[in-house]
């Protein structure tokens, strides 16, 4: 940002905005489900680790933004991933009880949805193992995430 002429202080503040998105989702999920925000955050980040959502987000962020359409496509995929992550977090939270750990909740959710999750993981791992990341394979990754959502809706 500073290379584009944005003042240092503003560039630092704007650069931190992306880390606020998960917090907004976590608070919204907690409000909607009546769960403690800390418990929601634990499940949210546990799910991110288990499904490698953070690595997928990193790949999306690395997409080129050479023109308006690339920027819009990149933003759209990124927003879709945030929405999918939030929805899957709610789904995992619905399994177990208030004393269940994030791991226990995930394992119960995984057991309940083993077949579709195995197929989805296989596709996501293949994409993560790619040498190049572009709109094509990241679009397939998002389609895979949406498949998980439709299955659990």
Label each residue of the chain as H, E or C: CHHHCCCHHHHHHHHCHHHHHHHHHHHHHHHHHCCCHHHHHHHHHHHHHHHCHHHHHHHHHCCCCCCHHHHHHHHHHHHHHHHHHHHHHHHHHCCCCCCCCHHHHHHHHHHHCHHHHHHHHHHHHHHHCCCCCCHHHHHHHHHHHHHHHHHHC
69 vs 108: CA distance, rounded Å: 41
pLDDT at 20: 72
Please tell me the total count of domains within the chain. 1
pLDDT at 29: 96
Q: Does 105 reside within a domain?
A: yes
Q: Does 2 reside within a domain?
A: no
Per-residue pLDDT of the chain (153 residues; tens, 9 = 90+): 677 776 777 666 666 656 677 889 999 999 999 999 999 999 999 999 999 999 999 999 888 888 999 999 999 999 999 999 999 999 999 998 778 999 999 999 999 988 889 989 999 889 888 888 888 899 999 999 888 886 654
131 vs 3: CA distance, rounded Å: 28
Q: What is the domain range of residue 60? A: 21-152
pLDDT at 97: 79
Is the alpha carbon torsion for 18, 23, 24, 26 positive or negative? Answer: positive
Q: Please say whether the beta carbons of 48 and 133 come within 8 A.
A: no
pTM here?
A: 0.82
Q: Does 30 reside within a domain?
A: yes
131 vs 128: CA distance, rounded Å: 8
Q: Does 34 reside within a domain?
A: yes
């Amino acid at each position: 940002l500073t290379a584009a002429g944005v003042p240092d202080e503003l560039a630092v503040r704007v650069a931190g905005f992306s880390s606020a998105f998960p917090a907004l989702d976590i608070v919204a999920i907690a409000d909607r489900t009546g769960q403690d925000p800390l418990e929601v955050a634990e499940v949210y980040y546990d799910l991110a680790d288990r499904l490698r959502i953070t690595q997928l987000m990193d790949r999306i962020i690395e997409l080129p933004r050479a023109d308006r359409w690339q920027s819009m496509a990149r933003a759209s995929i990124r927003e879709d991933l945030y929405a999918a992550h939030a929805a899957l977090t709610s789904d995992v939270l619905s399994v177990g009880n208030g004393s269940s750990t994030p791991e226990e909740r995930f394992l119960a959710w995984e057991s309940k949805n083993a077949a579709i999750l195995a197929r989805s993981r296989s596709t996501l791992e293949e994409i993560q193992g790619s040498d190049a990341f572009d709109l094509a394979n990241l679009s397939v990754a998002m389609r895979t995430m949406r498949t998980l959502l439709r299955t659990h809706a």
